[in-house]
Amino acid sequence: MEQEKCAIPTITNNNGTLTFSSATEGAACRYEITRAGTGNSMTLPATSDYVVKVWATKAGYQDSDVATTTITMKQGDVNGDGGVSITDAVAVVNIILNGGASAPALSEPEEAGQEPE
């Protein structure tokens, strides 16, 4: 009798936090993140593409097919908006002041002469 196969996982990228899930109840997601290259040394570039491969596994089931995506990471892009700016510095300060918690969303600046709510 052939074993049932785990469902292919989904990969969600939320500002640099990757989340993996499979529709197979109780399945664990395994992952591999690689950056292609050759040579005896490397310098980390300011922007790099990483290949993310994820598969689901569970006792009594066959491993799922592999889900693959490529993500681009930019050094200094703390808030995950694709750029490096003062908002990244603000995000770092918020993370430090919040004891490692995610930075709260930035609010729109008050218009001149308007009282804060």
- Write down the pLDDT at residue 109: 47
- Write down the pLDDT at residue 102: 54
Across 17-21, 35-39, 101-105, least confident range: 101-105
Higher pLDDT, 19 or 73: 19
CB 55 within 8 A of CB 30: yes
Beta strands in 1-117 (DSSP E): 10-14, 17-21, 28-34, 47-57, 67-74
Per DSSP, what are the bridge partners of residue 12? Answer: 19
Higher pLDDT, 99 or 71: 71
The predicted model scores a pTM of: 0.62
Question: In angstroms, rounded to a whole number, what is the distance separating the alpha carbons of residues 25 and 9?
Answer: 11
Average pLDDT over residues 34-59: 78
